[in-house]
A and B are shown apart, each in its own frame.
Chain A
């Protein structure tokens, strides 16, 4: 019931929201989508990746580069980007899991790959190097689905469909055989292995699904923002931005990443507005407040907002 009301509200949003509100909503949905992708790996299978900006960036550059250089639209680029990211995820997963790297070491390995790639792209001529790559912003009033060009509402709906699709996929995955295997691995990998679960294989599958999903977010990023700089897109802050939502919302839950993305984005924007209203527009002050709130949430709600909220509302998570 609640879900249906929310669905109708979200579908009708562009009818009454202005462009600013729509851009905030699109950003929330983008983060909710990417957060769900990360959640498959960390929340379900228990593998802490701190380098998801790698897949966002590579996918953005694959689809963006094809469009920029050869005029190949994002629909073809999307598949290639997903394939490339899935292979990269598989390669990193293979190396890490085969050599028995887990926990903090795995997290640092994912950062290392993202940083390595960031600096690599800074020196890659095909993508414009540090100067960036700019996709043509042809027009904003007509919907050109083939090239994914159109008004803000089109991007909003695209992201809404993607986020809803990711939610359905995650809900299905969590209740499938894979979901139970992953949760067993997350809780106790040795015990899972002793039960006969091929932990290597299922961790690989989690990694490939997660990286392919993140690739979709990356392609969206390229065609929504239209300018790509290695310094920004591969930066560790982009990974952190993806991770914050699920951790604040509730790692491993279905609603957590979505709720977390919404809470953090609204929080960030309202801090900006509030400080502007008081006239305190000093650089850095917004992030300090943001950091303090993050600190408070992580200290007092160790499992995230959603599990606490669900308990209060009497719904199962």
Chain B
């Protein structure tokens, strides 16, 4: 097989993988702090994709500009969801939390089905069909922009947790729940902020994803699983790990699609997940707890 074909497939896998990584980053942040697995993560991203599609269809708003309103709406939505639904479940057993979010996911998938019907919808811009060429290498413009948005959002998130007081307070909650309470942090509020921030990651990833593929209501559960795989492979709580995991999964999907069959692509992701769970449960870049 021609090497330039393989190289192009790898490039597209890396670029898509960065968007995956941003989505998974949202899950990682939420689980790392709130300690609740968001089983409605992919469903939330599907909602963001629909938001981008609708804004494009009605206002002719480019999905990359739609990021701003969608991210703001998702922040409010995430904050409200944590306050109303998840905070009361913090101390409940895992299966109870799982049930709660599965119910939320069922409502989301079928709410979208109700609102938009089962047919695929998409965004059509001029740059989706264009690409940058570097010798024999081709970079799809849509994918490059999407990856750029994902990197920018990840960078902003990193800076938020690293340099702002609120970010530090959230990290303190994640490190030591009791200690955070003792020093007087409003943990419930910080949890809600965290869920809001995680939702913003989902919103940006969803808007970027709307450029890359068609959206149907049924996409949700698959992306929820994908986000888990990425987060576990990269290392829970490690922000660089989520991006690395996203790129690894993106490339492995792309290569499996090329060499074996597109339908077999997620088998490799799950195989990788099993191996990582068994031999390096803290993930590739995770810390040992």
Q: Tell me, yes or no, whether A67 is within 8 Å of chain B by CB.
A: no
Q: Whole-angstrom distance between the alpha carbons of A122 and B267 in the complex?
A: 10
Partner of A288, one of B31, B114, B228: B114
Residue B264, interface by CB 8 Å: yes
A99–B282 CA distance with the chains assembled, in angstroms: 12
Complex: chain B residue closest to A251, CB-CB: B95
Hey, which chain B residues are within 8 Å of A123, CB to CB? 261, 263-264
Give chain B residues whose Cβ lies under 8 Å from the Cβ of A287: 106-107, 109-110, 113
Q: A294 is contacted by which of B106, B263, B270 (Cβ under 8 Å)?
A: B106
Q: Are B102 and A294 in contact (CB under 8 A)?
A: yes
Residue A112, interface by CB 8 Å: yes
A116 x B110 contact (CB < 8 A): no
The smallest beta-carbon distance between B39 and chain A, in angstroms, is: 9
Expressed in whole angstroms, the minimum distance between the Cβ of A238 and any Cβ of chain B is 12
- Residues A112 and B277 in contact in the complex (CB < 8 Å), given A284-B114, A294-B99, A302-B96: yes
Q: Is there contact, CB below 8 Å, between A285 and B225?
A: no
- Is B205's beta carbon under 8 Å from chain A? no
Report whether B37 and A104 are in contact in the complex, using a CB–CB cutoff of 8 Å. yes
Q: Give bound CA distance, A105 to B88, whole Å.
A: 22
Closest chain-A Cβ to B225's Cβ sits at a distance in Å of 6
What is the CA–CA distance of A193 and B281 in the complex, to the nearest angstrom?
A: 22
Q: With A and B bound together, what is the CA distance between A204 and B221 in angstroms?
A: 30
Task: Please give me the residue from chain B that is nearest to A237 by CB atom.
Answer: B221
Question: Does A290 sit at the interface, judged by CB under 8 A?
Answer: yes
Q: What's the least CB distance linking B274 to chain A, in Å?
A: 5
Q: With A42-B95, A115-B270, A236-B225 given, is the CB distance from A101 to B100 under 8 Å?
A: no
Q: Are B94 and A48 within 8 A (Cβ)?
A: yes
Closest chain A CB from B41 CB (angstroms): 13
Q: Which residues of chain B come closer than 8 Å to A50, judged between CB atoms?
A: 98
Q: Is A283 an interface residue (CB 8 A)?
A: yes
Question: In angstroms, how far is the closest chain B Cβ from the Cβ of A119?
Answer: 4
Select from chain B the residue with minimum beta-carbon distance to A235. B221
Docked-complex contact B114 and A285, CB < 8 angstroms: yes
User: A224 at the A/B interface (Cβ < 8 Å)?
Assistant: no
In the complex, A282→B111 CA distance in Å? 11
Contact between chains at B95 and A288 (CB < 8 Å): no
Residues of A contacting B107 in the complex (Cβ-Cβ under 8 angstroms): 287-288, 291-292, 295
Contacts of B204 in A (CB 8 A): none
Please measure, in the bound complex, the distance between the C-alpha atom of A115 and the C-alpha atom of B274, giving whole angstroms.
11
Q: Hey, which chain A residues are within 8 Å of B103, CB to CB?
A: 291-292, 294-295, 298
A100 to B221, CA, bound (A): 27
Binary B-proximity of A275-303 (CB < 8 A = 1, otherwise 0): 00000001111111011101100110010
Whether the Cβ atoms of B264 and A101 lie closer than 8 Å is no
Instruction: Decide: A284 near B88, CB < 8 A? Known: A112-B277, A298-B100.
Output: no
**Chain B hits for A101, CB < 8 A:** 277-278, 281
How far does the Cβ of B281 sit from chain A's closest Cβ, in whole Å?
A: 6
Main secondary structure of the interface of B (DSSP, over half): helix
Verify if B69 is at the interface (C-beta below 8 Å from A): no
Give 10 nearest A-B pairs by CB, closest first: A284-B113, A291-B106, A291-B107, A287-B110, A284-B110, A294-B103, A119-B267, A284-B114, A295-B103, A116-B270
Q: CA A160 – CA B228 in complex, angstroms? A: 38
Interface residue range, chain B: 35 or more
CA distance A169 to B109 in the complex (A): 38
Interface pair A236/B110, CB less than 8 Å apart? no
B151 interface hit (Cβ, 8 Å) = no
When distances are taken between beta carbons in the complex, the residues of chain A under 8 Å from B274 are: 109, 112-113, 116
Tell me, in angstroms, the Cα distance from A284 to B279 when the chains sit together: 41
Q: List the A side residues contacting B110 at CB < 8 Å.
A: 284-288, 291
In the assembled complex, the CB of A181 is this many whole angstroms from the nearest CB of chain B, namely 20
A290 to chain B, nearest CB (A): 7
Task: List B contacts of A282 (CB < 8 A).
Answer: 114
Q: A103-B94, A236-B225, A284-B217 are in contact. Are A108 and B273 (CB under 8 A)?
A: yes
Docked complex: B273-287 residues within 8 A CB-CB of A: 273-274, 277-279, 281
Query: CB of A131 within 8 A of chain B?
Result: no
Interface centre among A109, A113, A286 (most CB of B within 10 A): A109
User: A267 — which chain B residues lie within 8 A by C-beta?
Assistant: none
If A101-B277, A116-B270 touch, whether A291 touches B114 (CB-CB below 8 Å) is no
Please report the C-alpha to C-alpha distance between residue A122 and residue B260 in the assembled complex, in whole angstroms: 13
Rounded to whole angstroms, the CA-CA distance of A42 and B112 in the bound complex is 32
A95–B278 CB distance below 8 A: yes
- Asked if A73 is at the interface of the complex by the 8 Å CB criterion, the answer is no
Partner pick for A119 among B106, B228, B263, B278, CB 8 A cutoff: B263
In the assembled complex, the Cα of A100 lies from the Cα of B289 at a distance in Å of 12
Query: Which residues from 119 to 135 on chain A have a C-beta closer than 8 Å to any C-beta of chain B?
Result: 119-120, 122-123, 130
CB distance from A58 to the nearest CB of B (A): 16
Chain B, Cβ-Cβ closest to A248: B99
In whole angstroms, how far apart are the Cα atoms of A288 and B115 in the complex?
11
Cβ A122 vs Cβ B37 within 8 A: no
Q: Which residues of A contact B112 (CB under 8 A)?
A: 284
Contact A247 B95 (CB under 8 A): yes
